[in-house]
Structure 1
Amino acid sequence: MFGDPIENPKGWPRVELDEVLDGIDSGKSPVCLSRPATPGEWGVLKLSAVTYGRYNASENKALPEGTAPGQNLEVRPGDLLFSRKNTYSLVGAVVLVRETPKRMLLPDLIFRLRLGEPQMLTASYLHQLLMYPSKRKEVRSLAGGAAGSMPNISKGRLLKLRVEVPPMSLQEEYARVVERLEQHRRLIGAQLHCLEAGLDSLQATAFSARL
């Protein structure tokens, strides 16, 4: 459909990321509690919430009572989150937030990429593009840092990254396919959860001599 982004066999136009984004938000990392936030509490995402290419809101730390949350940094569905600092193999990981609990906040190690208007790229396409292996290698090459420290990608370097821009109709078609697959994945996940609960119940019954 798109071709390898580095080889770009279909000759898509290439522009700097600065041309397709309205901006990049930086988070904050106040001192937090050692436990995750409970429902109704504010929480600050940990780096592990985005490390493996899929958003995991359970990876967070509760904001202490009395610490004012930066509500403009609350994570919302549709956000593109980018890990600006991590080990070399994990730096630059990107997730597309499809659903999230309320009151989850952006930490300082994660950027939020805000697409500009009118859109040149869909969030789904940009997410998958930046996570494609050959493009990931290019993204990781942007990282710098002192010896002994975790590699870090600055806003300035990230905004200079050149990205491939296929026709919007093709991007939207791709996004629809991805969304259908994501819905299927969520359905299978719910079914697996029910199966695991059934197996746990069977185990408890069998080993309590009630079966």
Structure 2
Amino acid sequence: MSLGAFIVYIAILMLIPLWAQSKVKSAYKKYSQVRASSGMTGAEVARKILNDNGLYDVSVEPVKGKLTDHYDPRSKVVRLSESNYYGNSVAGAAVAAHEVGHALQDEEGYAFLRFRHALVPVANFGSNISFFLILAGIFLQMTGMLLAGIVFMSAAVLFQLVTLPVEFNASNRAMEQVVSVGVIRNDEERETKKVLNAAALTYVAAALVAVAELVRFILMYVAMNND
């Protein structure tokens, strides 16, 4: 790969995540200023969906930060950023419902969620050590070390790929729930979908970048072996 092509490649890898993040921030900012017709706060939305599905043991708590919302399967807690927890916007309702979607997955033992949880320690280790091995393999011209780095990196990439169905499924569950429990009206479905779709783009972008990097290093390994 020429220097010019390499620069373009790196630029694209940087631009894809930035573009996805800008879409999320834009959609969230816009619809966080739109009040949900139900008037329910994010905390109330989460609690209602959880109760309607019999998940009384899952608690809902505020957490500091912006877009720090997440579901903790170990503690059985849906944590919502303070603006979503206390606010009553369309964006807050969408985010709250999405995180509850993960709690619903956890309750039913959704296969991809269980697989992702099992991959966490392997993916963390792989992401930490892979670049060290890959860079050492490239600079020292040691194909075995490069291959080892690629294997470890593959575990991290697999985690990114498995995350996609987990997140899309949680968003689908969120849409079903906010409609069925009456959190939003028909004219708010489009706005809710825009928030959820924008959030999903970040995971798609991360997966694309991870796969592209993995393919690049695989091609380097093949080229080194051919030499």
TM-score normalised by structure 1 residue count: 0.29
Between Structure 1 and Structure 2, which shows a larger proportion of strand residues?
1
TM-score normalised by structure 2 residue count: 0.28
